[in-house]
Chain A
Amino acid sequence: MVGIGDKLLGYATNPDVRNRGASGGLVTAVLAAALEKGMVEGVVVLKRIDEYEAIPVITDDVQEVLASGGSMHAVPVNLTKHAVGRKIAMPGKPCDVRGVIEQAKRNGVDLENTYIVGLNCGGSMHPVVTREMLIRMYEIDPEDVVGEEIEKGKLIFKTKDGEEKAISIDELEEAGYGRRENCRYCTIKIPTNADLACGNWGVIGELAGSATFCEVMNEKGKRLLDNAIEAGFIEVQPADEKSIAIRNKVNSAMLKLGDEWKGRLLTEIHDQERLTYYIEQFADCIDCGACREVCPVCTCGEDSKCTMFHSLADNYKMSMYHMVRLLHLSDSCIGCGQCSDICPVDIPVTTIFRRFADPAQKKRDYSPGMDLQRPPFLELMLK
């Protein structure tokens, strides 16, 4: 039996799952065991299409879960909405987890029925930008790539002929490649808001690459791990002081880097410039409504405030849609980047929204999506 707060190193007992897994297959095995033992009705998995593309699906097939391991850094999806109205287990980067918690505050998700195996996250990349980066910066044919990893601040790609090429993330990002803009200033790298927080930071020595560092965050996390151990899907051992210290150190370094990006990108907008800034930023909006549709924290449905007060026939210099959304999301925007990714005219929506929300959240020392303790400052929390 494991305890809340335990920090463990573990891996899948099935060698295939362990090999296919990003760092030991523990996450996959825990999800599969939850399904196998009836803790949940389905699991969210990423159905892999190729190195740069995958689509989230919900499955009730344990074999499909077991076949789904591996981290896809160039698949910047958000899995939140798949948890709505279901009894499922899911993997989740910090932003996936934050989305689920914001949904829970608004009764979109029942956290009691949702198990989240959190993944540490240094950031994700856009698939098309990644392909372009491979050609321009790495001089590698994207089709030749068989794997990638991040080590000591470098992004390393492995090709099918066994070659490896590493370039520092700083250099890539200065050239406009690397992680998505929002990931650079994301402030949660270890998902302490999930039931389990898993990653490869702190896995050293002979276990490096074949075990997962896993922290038990709460009672549900304990249930998940106990269930997987009992089902014989995983084996775990306590992490030693050195592993724990390394994990903390890398996390601190990543957070410091995130703060630097935040300082660069989320600068204050002065009162005199504010209106012009927003009018200009949204001037090319084609009113597709996709940013609302993909927003993981939005529970409004069809008749939302942002669409109700907005009309295409309006002659406002800035649409009511964006004005209402800016305000409405100021207490819940988690900066996941989905809105920027899908904006058809490439408006950096996430950064615009974060620049608006950040000061308001900072002033109230409020970080959305982290726990259910504090209600959103603009709303009641539904229970």
Chain B
Amino acid sequence: MKETIYQTVCPGCGIGCGLYIRENGNGSVSIDFLKSSPVNLGKLCRFGMKLPYYYSRPASSKTEGVVSGAEEAVKAAASRLKNAGKIAMLSAGNTTCEEHIAFTRLAETLGTVVHTGIPVYQELPSECHPHLEGMPLAEIENAEKIVLFIDPYVQYPLLVRRLLVARRNGAHIISAGTKELHLAHENRDLSPEQYAELELDSNSVIIADVHPHTESCHTKQLLNLALETGARIHFMKPFINSEGANRLARDKAGMMGISHIMDEIEKGDIKTLFLLDSDPLEMMPDSDRTANALNKLDNLIVISSRDSPITEIANVVIATEPLYRKRGTFINAEGKLRENSGQEVAGIDAMSLLSRELGSEGFEYRQMHGYLHERMIETLANENRKPEYGIMQCAPVQHNGACILKYLFNPFMWANQPDDNDFVLLNMNMVRSLKLRKGGMVRLDSEKGSMKMRYRVERVPDGMILTARKLQVATGTNTTVKVEGC
């Protein structure tokens, strides 16, 4: 009857909801609600509620595709890395700060940097970088006006309650995203030239996000809006420790976006990819194209706490303990440091051994945590900074012509997770013009193929089809499609 309880943080999105994971005597896990967590009061979204499934597939170490011991996998990784040419290292923020720091140590030994996969850091002037940090979520509740460039219901569900509190406190909420939101007073489809109509001022908050597929032009336009109006800007981040990983990066401008990395792999410029709890097959919109690109690598080395599509095809997998058991900390989207109660350090130990195998010094958890504390003052200072950047010019990518299938990007994208969001959103005009039957299907044709999907009617712009999960026919976050009723 012995149960083990871990106090941890949801590995879903950057909000960092506190919860308990209960390991039952028979090895299964269940969740319990950490009601004293100030971030979420014990509340969880659909993803958090499904964590037992997420945690049901622990990773196994593999050497050359065959299950092996972790030490053997570390040695195989070392031998591949020693002989590798240009190495790209990616840690998107799905693990603890301490593991991320250890990975950065390995990058130093290997003479490279750790990328977090978010392209805007490379594409925006460095004086903008501090303004990409999140602000305390509680402050959203006191804003007078809030403009949303995200869909909180789908992308960051635990933001909804903050917005509802703000609304009850008198905030005027405008949705400037692609979909009509129930909690908004106004739902507006605005072009950047019309942003002045929002009439923002210093009591306003702009909420957007930066993720692996954010178009930097959009981010620039929002930073311009904040600069011109004095409004505060809050950027959500997709993964549990995206904020931590990005704040800890020393050379943000040198960090590549994940699409850029994949392009270089496709071109054959990068031959070795070394990943820490980051799966491009899950993160990239087109899994097939990504799988083809990864096939071109000489070395695919993965450190992972869970089984995912990338661990199936990697040359070497170094398995670590599940996230909830790790000793370590996370920095959530508002800059709050959250700590696991778990005490396991297999991930750090494996990286330390790898460091020694590569001819450098080993390290311990304590040192990684100590480094975090040294950087803490810098990393956690997220007060309302005065902008030091100027107005930026940019030309948005035009999507002309046919219908656009658009990813309503959410951190989970439901890769490998059971969920019943297997439908697309389209508007009534499209339903009428295609004569779609209620309860019927819509056919989507792209250059990659064809598929039928159920649909739901929403107020989205004409010609737009939204999806909250990855679809086979998608070639990017925006895919030109032909649609037919069926």
Chains A and B are bound partners: yes
Interface residues of A (CB under 8 A from B): 41-42, 47, 49-50, 52-53, 55-60, 75-76, 86, 126-128, 131, 283-284, 286-290, 293-294, 311-315, 341-346
Residues of B within 8 A of A283 (CB): 182
B456 engages A59 (CB within 8 Å)? no
Q: Known pairs A49-B7, A128-B35, A344-B43. 9 more at Cβ < 8 A?
A: A53-B34, A128-B41, A286-B157, A290-B43, A294-B33, A313-B454, A315-B456, A343-B43, A344-B158
B420 engages A312 (CB within 8 Å)? yes
Distance of B225 from chain A, by nearest CB (Å) = 27
Query: Is B175 located at the chain interface by the 8 A CB criterion?
Result: no
Q: A344–B32 Cα gap in the complex (Å)? A: 14
Q: A294–B182 Cα gap in the complex (Å)? A: 26
Question: A47's contact among B5, B45, B421, B438, by CB below 8 Å, is which?
Answer: B5
Mark out the residues of chain B between 426 and 468 whose CB falls within 8 Å of any chain A CB in the assembled complex. 438, 454-457
Binary contact readout B287-310 vs A (1 if CB under 8 angstroms, 0 otherwise): 000000000000000000000000
Residues of A within 8 A of B43 (CB): 290, 342-344
Q: A344–B49 Cα gap in the complex (Å)? A: 11
Which single residue of chain A is at the shortest CB-CB distance from B157? A286
Distance of A115 from chain B, by nearest CB (Å) = 15
B164 engages A345 (CB within 8 Å)? yes
Question: B38's contact among A128, A312, A313, A343, by CB below 8 Å, is which?
Answer: A128
Interface residues of B (CB under 8 A from A): 1-3, 5, 7, 20, 22, 32-38, 40-46, 48-49, 153, 157-158, 160-161, 164-165, 182-183, 420-423, 438, 454-457
Residues of B within 8 A of A311 (CB): 420
B46 engages A60 (CB within 8 Å)? no
Most chain B beta-carbon neighbours within 10 Å: one of A42, A56, A286: A286
Distance of A131 from chain B, by nearest CB (Å) = 8
A342 engages B164 (CB within 8 Å)? no
Q: A186–B331 Cα gap in the complex (Å)? A: 40
Task: State the 8 A-B residue pairs at the shortest beta-carbon distance, nearest first.
Answer: A313-B423, A127-B36, A344-B43, A53-B36, A42-B1, A286-B157, A288-B46, A313-B454
Q: A47–B22 Cα gap in the complex (Å)? A: 13
Residues of B within 8 A of A76 (CB): 35
A284 engages B35 (CB within 8 Å)? no
Q: A131–B138 Cα gap in the complex (Å)? A: 15
B49 engages A290 (CB within 8 Å)? yes
A289 engages B35 (CB within 8 Å)? no
Residues of A within 8 A of B182 (CB): 283-284
Residues of A within 8 A of B455 (CB): 313
Query: Would you list 26 pairs from A and B whose C-beta atoms are within 8 A, ordered by A residue?
Result: A42-B1, A49-B7, A49-B36, A50-B36, A55-B5, A58-B3, A60-B1, A127-B35, A283-B182, A286-B46, A286-B160, A288-B48, A288-B157, A290-B44, A293-B49, A312-B423, A313-B420, A313-B422, A313-B456, A314-B456, A315-B457, A341-B33, A341-B35, A344-B161, A345-B157, A346-B161
Residues of B within 8 A of A58 (CB): 1, 3
A126 engages B1 (CB within 8 Å)? no
Residues of B within 8 A of A288 (CB): 44-46, 48-49, 157
Which single residue of chain A is at the shortest CB-CB distance from B182? A283
Which single residue of chain A is at the shortest CB-CB distance from B37? A128
Question: B2's contact among A60, A75, A128, by CB below 8 Å, is which?
Answer: A60
Q: A363–B356 Cα gap in the complex (Å)? A: 75
Distance of A41 from chain B, by nearest CB (Å) = 6
Question: B20's contact among A55, A286, A314, A345, by CB below 8 Å, is which?
Answer: A55
Residues of B within 8 A of A50 (CB): 36
Residues of A within 8 A of B164 (CB): 284, 345-346
Residues of A within 8 A of B42 (CB): 341-342
Q: A230–B46 Cα gap in the complex (Å)? A: 50
Q: A264–B438 Cα gap in the complex (Å)? A: 42
Question: B5's contact among A57, A312, A344, by CB below 8 Å, is which?
Answer: A57
B423 engages A342 (CB within 8 Å)? no
Distance of A149 from chain B, by nearest CB (Å) = 20
Which single residue of chain B is at the shortest CB-CB distance from A52? B36
Distance of A75 from chain B, by nearest CB (Å) = 8
Q: A47–B6 Cα gap in the complex (Å)? A: 12
Q: A307–B41 Cα gap in the complex (Å)? A: 25
Question: A344's contact among B22, B38, B45, B422, by CB below 8 Å, is which?
Answer: B45
Distance of B26 from chain A, by nearest CB (Å) = 12
Most chain B beta-carbon neighbours within 10 Å: one of A59, A314, A345: A345
A286 engages B421 (CB within 8 Å)? no
Q: A128–B37 Cα gap in the complex (Å)? A: 7
Residues of A within 8 A of B3 (CB): 57-58
Q: A131–B38 Cα gap in the complex (Å)? A: 10
Residues of A within 8 A of B457 (CB): 315
Residues of A within 8 A of B7 (CB): 49
Which single residue of chain B is at the shortest CB-CB distance from A129? B41
Which single residue of chain A is at the shortest CB-CB distance from B425? A313
Residues of A within 8 A of B158 (CB): 344
A286 engages B48 (CB within 8 Å)? no
Q: A294–B43 Cα gap in the complex (Å)? A: 11
Which single residue of chain B is at the shortest CB-CB distance from A61? B2
Given A52-B36, A283-B182, does the pair A289, B161 have CB atoms closer than 8 Å? no
B32 engages A55 (CB within 8 Å)? yes
Residues of A within 8 A of B32 (CB): 55-56
A342 engages B33 (CB within 8 Å)? yes
Residues of B within 8 A of A41 (CB): 1
Which single residue of chain A is at the shortest CB-CB distance from B46? A288
Q: A231–B22 Cα gap in the complex (Å)? A: 33
Q: A204–B32 Cα gap in the complex (Å)? A: 38
Q: A191–B147 Cα gap in the complex (Å)? A: 50
Given A313-B423, A315-B456, does the pair A344, B2 have CB atoms closer than 8 Å? no
Residues of B within 8 A of A75 (CB): 35
Residues of A within 8 A of B422 (CB): 313
Q: A49–B160 Cα gap in the complex (Å)? A: 29
Distance of B434 from chain A, by nearest CB (Å) = 16
Q: A59–B20 Cα gap in the complex (Å)? A: 17
Residues of A within 8 A of B41 (CB): 126, 128, 341
Q: A327–B486 Cα gap in the complex (Å)? A: 35
Q: A313–B423 Cα gap in the complex (Å)? A: 6
A344 engages B40 (CB within 8 Å)? yes
Residues of B within 8 A of A342 (CB): 33, 35, 42-44
Which single residue of chain A is at the shortest CB-CB distance from B438? A315
Q: A50–B48 Cα gap in the complex (Å)? A: 24
B44 engages A344 (CB within 8 Å)? yes
Distance of B380 from chain A, by nearest CB (Å) = 20
B153 engages A289 (CB within 8 Å)? no
B46 engages A289 (CB within 8 Å)? yes
Which single residue of chain A is at the shortest CB-CB distance from B183? A284
Which single residue of chain A is at the shortest CB-CB distance from B458? A315
